[in-house]
Amino acid sequence: MKIALPILFILILAIIQITFASKLTVFGVRPNFVLAGLFVLLIFTKNFWDIILAAVIGGLIYDWNDYFFGLNAVVLILTFLIFWFFGKKYIVSRHFLPLLIFSIFGTAVFNLIYISLSYLIFHYNFFDYFLSARQLLEMGLNGLTALVFGSPFLVITKFKRV
């Protein structure tokens, strides 16, 4: 049951992303729900393999609706690994601040890896987006999205402490 929860959480977010997310845009920019959800899991769950599995499932759903099959799953896993091995040690407590910082910088890392790989492997050039103001907007949006999705977990953590 515990394994199913992170997967279910990411599955729902991925379905929302491919269906309704285009209606939730700010200046044409959509938040990345699965990425934000992964950072919520990164901060609030402990099981490494649960999150990897959730990243694979979220990534594959993205891939079925995107140009390059497999790329989203790979990039989501890489981003998660970077933050798990190099970032997790800096998390002192389950607080909204690490969630916000991780999701903002995580967006930049995810987009950079995605754009680089799509350019190197598939010769698609999305660097214009990465260097535009919309990239900054997406970072902010993902930060807010992670806070929204993470708020129930934050509340639960607070209650557990009490």
Six token digits for residue 81: 């690994």
119 is a contact residue toward other proteins (CB under 8 A) = no
Determine phi and psi for 104, rounding to 5 degrees: -70, -50
Looking at the Cβ atoms of 92 and 120, the one nearer to other proteins is: 120
Taking the complex as a whole, the smallest distance from the CB of residue 63 to other proteins amounts, in Å, to: 9
Cα separation, 3 vs 9, in Å, equals 11
Show Cβ contacts of residue 33 under 8 Å, excluding neighbours closer than 6 positions. 13, 14, 16, 17, 21, 145, 149
Taking the complex as a whole, the smallest distance from the CB of residue 75 to other proteins amounts, in Å, to: 10
Interface of this chain with other proteins, residues 39 to 98, rule: CB under 8 A: 61-62, 64-67, 72
x-marked contacts with other proteins along 13-42 as a string, rule CB under 8 A: -x--xxx-xxx-x--xxx-x-x--------
Six token digits for residue 84: 């798990």
Looking at the Cβ atoms of 60 and 154, the one nearer to other proteins is: 60
11 is a contact residue toward other proteins (CB under 8 A) = no
b/e map 41-64, b = 16+ CB within 10 Å: bbbbbeeeebbbbbbbbbbebbbe
Binding site for other proteins (CB under 8 A): 14, 17-19, 21-23, 25, 28-30, 32, 34, 61-62, 64-67, 72, 114-115, 118, 124-126, 128-129, 132, 134, 138
